[in-house]
Amino acid sequence: MRMLMLTLGIVIAGLAGAANAHLAVDVAIKPDRDPNSVNPFSKGKIPVAVLGSAGFDVSTVDVTTLAFGPGGAAPTNKAGGQLGDVNDDSYLDLLSHYRTQETGIAPGETQACVTGETLDGMLFEGCDEMRTVPDPKCGLGFEAALLLAPLMALRRKRVG
């Protein structure tokens, strides 16, 4: 019994320790675009780069742990991501693509985050600003987009 308690204690301490070790990294949503516009209704993919720095070597990232957005989408890339310098700062970055529908990004959200682990178990997280389109603050644009889909479907049905 005492042995079990001891083991349990070590496991809990280990989990708590892992939760505390959390590295903040830089992330770029759509690194080649500015501003980073995301259409939550898109069936496309969003490119997101985890940016390397002097303190963070992206080649140590365990790509199977990458998760993007509130929905925790996994990369669609077969290899999890592609190493390359997307922002020309001479540090390697890790570019992955995520299905918009799996990210859980909702209209009006202004940032999204990537979480993951390095191969040696260090947790990291990074966020980037973005804006969703159509802009819900523009009122009609957003509602029109919601209305438009069923209307278009109806029209297609009538025509066909």
Q: Kindly state the smallest distance separating residue 56's Cβ from Ca ion, in Å.
A: 10
Task: Give the tokens for residue 48.
Answer: 């997101």
Q: Which is nearer to Ca ion, 39 or 77 (CB)?
A: 77
- Give the contact letters, 66-85, x = binds to Ca ion (CB under 5 A), - = no: -------------------x
| Largest separation between any pair of C-alpha atoms in the chain | 75
User: What CA–CA distance (Å, rounded) separates 28 from 49?
Assistant: 5
Looking at residues 90 to 119 of the shown chain, list those that interact with Ca ion (rule: CB under 5 A): 91, 93
Residue with tokens 């802009």: 135
Cβ at position 61, least distance to Ca ion in Å: 14
* Smallest distance from Ca ion to CB 90, Å: 7
Contact predicate 42/149, CB 8 Å: no
CB 39 within 8 A of CB 23: no
Which of 51/130 has CB closer to Ca ion? 51
Q: Interface with Ca ion includes 87 (CB under 5 A)?
A: yes
Q: Is 69 exposed, middle or buried (0-12, 13-18, 19+ CB in 10 A)?
A: buried
List residues binding Ca ion (CB under 5 A). Answer: 85, 87, 89, 91, 93
